[in-house]
Amino acid sequence: MIEIRDLARAYELDSGRVVALDGVSLDIDEGDMVAVMGPSGSGKSTLMNLLGCLDRPTGGLYRLAGVPVETLDKDGLAALRNRRIGFVFQQFNLLPRTDALGNVELPMIYAGVDRRTRREKALRALARVGLSERAHHRPTQLSGGQQQRVAIARALVNDPSLLLADEPTGALDSRTALEILALFQELNREGVTLVLVTHDADVGRHARRVVRFRDGRIVEDRRQEPLDARVALEAMTRETAA
């Protein structure tokens, strides 16, 4: 799914040249669930921006599903983002005056999908994240966890090859965070490729693989047996009941 070789990103600032990503090489297979971790300034957010075609590298190669991303112009990057990549952010980024259904339809409007098809696909996406009954609720009428589910439905509606989640549980309480992680794991079991950027070790423990950054370089890359978020939710429920 993802193949990067010697990927680099540097910024020219008044104070001098800052290297945010320093010759990173990484492969991510289709159907994997990877947590990208590291402290602030480690390079993980820069990697996310490059993987999401939101920024351009200053060196190296990036292939997404076989497409040589570094050769694309601005329009090509936008088309690839809309067709291949779904984004989930910490702050949800929903339109406040638009209901859940309308928010999920947005990527399809940009893609030129007709109104009837948009409505059908958006309803299916909301059903997939367990929010069919909230389709006509605005974000202010939804809990934080429900808003994040709407954001996930929006990310999935164009059937992307890759789902990128940037601190997706950072604005949620611990129980709601586990519910979102359980949803991510369910989607992953269905074949969705997931890359989660997080500084939270508890979130990282639910991924199949952890890639840790420091000073723009990978310092750890290991596979693990992920914690099952559903089991953790059940344990939390029992503790609350007791």
Q: Which range (46-50, 80-84, 149-153, 181-185) has the least confidence?
A: 80-84
> Does residue 240 carry a pLDDT above 80?
no
> Does residue 21 carry a pLDDT above 90?
yes
Phi and psi at residue 4, to the nearest 5°: -125, 145
Beta-strand pair 2-13/59-64: antiparallel
| Nearest-angstrom CA–CA distance, 135 and 139 | 10
Say if residues 44 and 20 touch (Cβ distance below 8 Å): no
Q: What pLDDT digit, counting tens, does each position of 116-129 carry?
A: 999 999 999 999 89
pLDDT the model gives residue 242: 66
pTM of the model: 0.89
Segment (H or E) for 8: strand 2-13
> Does residue 187 carry a pLDDT above 80?
yes
Structure tokens at 242: 């007791």
pLDDT the model gives residue 125: 92
> Does residue 40 carry a pLDDT above 90?
no
Domain ranges of the chain: 2-90+161-241
| pLDDT tier for residue 208 given thresholds of 50, 70 and 90 | very high
CATH number of 2-90+161-241: 3.40.50.300
Q: What pLDDT digit, counting tens, does each position of 210-221 carry?
A: 999 999 999 999
Average pLDDT taken over every residue of the chain = 91
pLDDT the model gives residue 147: 92
| Nearest-angstrom CA–CA distance, 112 and 78 | 14
CA dihedral of residues 50, 83, 205, 47 (deg, nearest 10): 0
Segment (H or E) for 55: none
